[in-house]
Amino acid sequence: MKAELLAQLVELTGNEDPGAVRADVKSLVSRYNAETLREKKEQKAAWDEVEHEEGEEFVFSPNALDVDFEAAFAEFKEKDRIQREAVAAEQKKNLDVRKDLLRQFQELVSDEENIGKAFARFNELTEEWKSAGPVSGEKFKDVQDEYVRLRDEFFYNINIYKELKEHDLKINEKKKQELIDEVKGVSPELPIKELDARVRDLQSRWMEIGPSPRETYKEMADEFFGVCRELIGKIKEHFQSLQEEFDQNLAAKKELVDQLVRIVELEIQNHGTWKKKTDQVLELQKKWKEIGFARKGDNEQVWEEFRGLCDKFFDAKQAYYDARKDEQSNNKSRKESLIAQARELSQSDDWKETTDKLIGLQKEWKKVGSAAHYEEQKLWNDFRSACDDFFSRKSEHFGSMDQKQEVNLQAKLDLIAEISAYEMSGNKQEDIAALKDFSARWHEIGFVPKKNLQETYDAYNAALDVKYKELNVNESERHIIQYKERISGMKSGGNSENQLHKERTFIMRKMETLQSTIRQYENNMLIFTGKGAESMKREIEKKIKAAEREMEDLEKKLDLI
């Protein structure tokens, strides 16, 4: 923007007639200053967002083009000054010429002796007056009024031939009456520019008419200029109301600028707000177009500010959507990765672990932001399809497992009945081997429905307890026998290494807990003293021994693993 304004100023500065482009240069300077004001506001806003030491004040950093612009403007002002001084000198010279002519007119009016010579000299002076150059506006009216007065005075005072004088006065009277009739016929409802031009033309033509009879001169002049004043009053009234309208329009435009400033200062972070604020900005632009003009200089300045704010808003919007596009592209890549992982997992038969992984992927999917609107639905359909493939297979699998678990339940119930019906042979080793076989067969049977799990397991243990008691096998030994069978089942089953590792970890943690419990019991033994302490110590000793026996059983189980 500033570079373009500088180029235009340089071009205008080269014009040979500075006065012809003076208004254009003034407009350029106003627009350039408005741009500088916008830069100051932006720099100040950026400065305010950063912390500064106490007492530090904002310092504006000028644009690199400012120096060139000031130099070009200074060059133009110098040329304009020289031209103005030359024009002023020329006007002063012309004023001096006219004053000298007025002096000669005065002398001519006073000297009426030689009629022919006076009349000839009058015509010469009149021609010289017409050819004299322009003078400044404030001086022109004075000298022009004096010229008219002296000219009229000449005709009134000079002793010319009566017939010629009366003839000329009558002709001028007729011309003035025609102008009076014409000015009365001018409609005050004409467009202001046309009305102003008509009045100026009529006044100019009146001033060009020579003197008229003295007895009607004042009456006709009052009538003519009275109508002119009414029309001029109409013109002034129009321009006064126009100035008021300009002020109102400027105030309305500044209010739109204030509203736009509040919008531009917002930190918008989502699509919905951007859409809402864009509609508001477009509405402000629409209102701007509906408001009329302000004064030229004010209008240009407030327009530059409004347009600059609009540019800033839409630049920020573009930057947001560019960044959003990058973010959506990144989100698309992340979601495509999740889809690939879900598809890879969809054919897995590790139901529990895969279920956990897919649920994790679904949670991660929710954390990832949206892709582009036209891509989001397809990505979601692909991801959901991969998840549905797995969960459909899982449902089918466990649906068939429910039937299988019912079969397993019946098999375990039959085995419990078989254990209960078993009669001891009297040979302890053979009977223990038979009971071990029952345990092995129990572990070979698969899962039962969850609702029947505890009930069948309790019935199974109760049936074995009865048989082991008949063999006089203590509870600890029985647990070891059963645990050995369980470990054998693990070793022969699938995923044995993982199962045994989990079992070993479980036992070691339980042993650590028991060791901590035993140490706590032993510490408590040292605390109890005095009456009643012995009974409490005996109770704790029992707990310690029970824990130690459990530790021994765990060590045996660990050895079996």
pLDDT in tens, 202-216: 998 998 888 888 889
Which residues, at least 6 apart from 457, have a Cβ–Cβ distance to it below 8 Å? none
**Which domain covers residue 222, as residue numbers?**
166-265
Which runs of consecutive H residues, i.e. helices, occur in 209-295? Answer: 214-264, 271-290
Residues 172 and 150 reside in one and the same domain: no
Note the pLDDT of residue 227.
92
- Both 18 and 150 in one domain: the answer is yes
pLDDT at 160 over 70: no
152 and 181 belong to one structural domain: no
> How much is the average pLDDT of 6-13?
84
State how far the alpha carbon of 326 is from the alpha carbons of 159, 275, 316, 333, in Å: 100, 19, 15, 11
pLDDT digit string, tens, across residues 99-122:
888 888 777 766 655 566 777 788
Q: Which residues contact 140 (CB under 8 A, 6 or more apart)?
A: 134
> For residue 421, what are the contacts with CB-CB under 8 A and spacing of at least 6?
none
Q: Report d(CA 245, CA 294) in Å as an integer.
A: 8
3-class state of residue 58 by DSSP: coil
Whether 382 maps to a domain, the answer reads no
Tell which of 160, 190, 225 closes a domain: 160
* Structural domain includes residue 287: no
Q: Are residues 170 and 156 in the same domain?
A: no
Query: Residue 419 corresponds to which tokens in the numbers above?
Result: 């254990």
* Residue 333 included in any domain: no
Query: What contacts 308, CB < 8 A, 6 or more positions away?
Result: 34, 35, 38
Report how far residue 510's alpha carbon sits from residue 515's, in angstroms, rounded to the nearest whole number: 9
Kindly state the tokens that stand for 438: 């029952």
Q: Is residue 134 in some structural domain?
A: yes
Please state the pTM of the whole predicted model. 0.38
Q: Which residues, including other chains, have CB under 8 Å from residue 144's CB and lie 6 or more apart?
A: 207
Is 118 found in the same domain as 13? yes
Residues 78 and 100 in one domain: yes
Indicate if 155 and 241 belong to the same structural domain.
no
Q: Inform me whether the pLDDT recorded for 133 exceeds 70.
A: yes
Backbone angles phi, psi at 216, to 5 degrees: -110, 0
The set of residues, in sequence order, having a beta carbon less than 8 Å from that of 138 and lying 6+ positions away, is: none
Which of 111, 143, 160 is where one domain is finished? Answer: 160
- Assigned domain for 120 exists: yes
The per-residue pLDDT for range 218-241, each reduced to its tens digit, is 999 999 999 999 999 998 888 888
pLDDT tens-digit series, residues 481-511? 777 766 766 665 556 677 778 888 888 999 9
| Distances 63 to 38, 46, 70, 412 between C-alpha atoms, Å | 12, 16, 11, 92
**Per the structure, how many domains does the chain have?**
3
Does 320 fall in a domain?
A: no
Residues 146 and 1 grouped into a single domain: yes
- In the predicted model, is pLDDT for residue 324 greater than 90? no
Q: What is the mean pLDDT of residues 433-455?
A: 87
- At 258, is the pLDDT very low, low, confident or very high (cuts 50, 70, 90)? very high
* Measured distance CA(228)–CA(184) in Å, rounded: 9
One domain, residues 1 and 143: yes
Do 154 and 69 lie in a common domain?
Answer: yes
Whole-number pLDDT of residue 288: 93
What are 461's two structure tokens?
């243990």
In a domain? residue 386: no
b/e code 43-70 from CB counts within 10 Å (16+ = b): eeeeeeeeeeeeeeeeeeeebebeeebe
Residue 7 and residue 156 in one domain: yes
Nearest to 122, CA basis, from 105, 106, 137: 105
Q: What is the dihedral of CA 34, 35, 40, 43, to 10 degrees?
A: 150
Residue 543 belongs to some domain of the structure = yes
User: Which of the listed residues 107, 141, 160 is the one where a domain comes to its end?
Assistant: 160
- One domain, residues 560 and 515: yes
pLDDT at 433: 87
Angstrom distances, CA of residue 137 to CA of 420, 422, 516: 135, 139, 113
